[in-house]
Amino acid sequence: MSLPRIAIDAMGGDEGVRNMVAGVALAHLRDSRTRFLLVGDEGQIALALDAHAGLRAACAILHADDVISGEEKPSQALRRARTTSMGLAINAVKDGEAAAALSAGNTGALMAMAKLALRTMPGIDRPALAGLLPTLGDADLVMLDLGANTECNSRNLVQFAIMGAAYARIVTRRACPRVRLLNIGSEDIKGTDTLRDAAAQLKAASGELAMAFDGFIEADKLCRGDVDVAVSDGFSGNIALKAIEGTARFVGDLLRRSFASSLRSKLGFLISKPATGLLKHHLDPNNHNGAIFLGLNGIVIKSHGSANALGVANAVAVTVRLVEENLTERIAADLARIGSESFRPNGSTTNPAGEVQP
């Protein structure tokens, strides 16, 4: 039985069409039920498909004359939504021609186009960008918001927690994900009025939801494996994400420099190669690729711009799983269960329009 097809922005990503198609081919090799709508320059896509004969029958091509650049502002990109590969991929979801869209292109433009075309779900004020981070536990950490909303009120944070928990139930397979709010301390008195108010609302509603909420978590404990969903405003979440990614690169570079410092170190590297290989695999962002804009009337996945074919294939796998397990319907059901009207924003926090951070 074939799955609903996935629209792929074949022109997005740093490595170009060949890399995107190679990732799609690997995803199809893993699950031959998947069907694709490849959006972009028809000539380039057809040429890339020549290297993957088994993929062609699973793909349709939608030609796009234009591409969104990485430097383009969201406001500029919106004007070309109907002519670009990114815009046409999202519109395929809106028009029912695809069940989900995936792009490795400009994050801000992708968010703006997706929000305009698909709109937010009833009961959701703003969509949030959620991603996966590696942990010492047996599952990845779902973290949101990673930059879609620079400032949030308590109502936004409660909605993010509900959406993140629904997402985590699919990607971590936990029936009752452990949810925490990112804060400067774990004590109840720590943090802003907005965070404390959101925590009070989540504690009051936790009996009605399939989540285990127990207050706050500090940034240095995010990847310990003790939490499944970490919730924050987009400003704090984006900083935390980049700090974690930067630390991972620092550790990797430091290890490489240490092992190359002397003959004795090089011998030590050979002995420890299995352990360092496991570390490299765990920290490789390609193995945790596929962020999602939660809260839209449709599934839109953001792949790392620098993702290789394996990373693209993993993002496709995330997309397929979310389609199969009806993520949007799950979020709607959770919102209906407790009634979104019960969430009240903290009056001390403004509610300006957030801006996506690339």
Q: Which residues pair with 213 in a beta bridge?
A: 179
Cα 40 to Cα 86: distance, rounded to the nearest angstrom = 8
- List the pLDDT tens digit at each of the 358 positions of the chain: 566 799 999 998 888 899 999 999 999 999 888 899 999 999 999 999 999 988 999 999 999 989 988 888 888 888 888 899 999 999 999 999 999 999 998 888 999 999 999 999 988 999 999 988 888 888 889 999 898 888 899 999 999 999 999 999 988 888 899 999 999 988 888 889 999 999 999 988 877 788 899 899 999 898 888 899 999 999 999 898 888 878 777 777 777 777 677 776 666 656 665 655 555 555 666 777 888 999 999 999 999 888 899 999 999 998 998 999 889 888 888 888 766 555 555 543 333 334 444 4
Q: Which residues pair with 216 in a beta bridge?
A: 181
Collapse the DSSP code of 214 into the 3-class scheme (helix H, G, I; strand E, B; otherwise coil) and give the result: strand
The neighbour count for residue 193, using CB atoms within 10 Å, is 13
Q: What CA–CA distances, in Å, run from 25 to 93, 192, 336? A: 21, 47, 39
Place of tokens 């804009």: 293
Cα 32 to Cα 312: distance, rounded to the nearest angstrom = 16
Domains in the chain, ordered, with CATH? Answer: 6-118 (3.40.718.10), 128-286+332-342 (3.40.718.10)
Residue 224 has what DSSP assignment? S
8 close to 39: Cβ distance less than 8 angstroms: yes
Instruction: List the one residue out of 185, 184, 172, 118 whose CA is nearest residue 328.
Output: 118
146 close to 186: Cβ distance less than 8 angstroms: no
Most distant CA pair in the chain: distance in Å?
66
332 burial class (0-12, 13-18, 19+ CB within 10 angstroms)?
Answer: middle
Buried b (16+ CB within 10 A) or exposed e, 150-162: bbbbbbbbbbbbb
Would you mind telling me the total number of residues written for the chain in this entry? 358
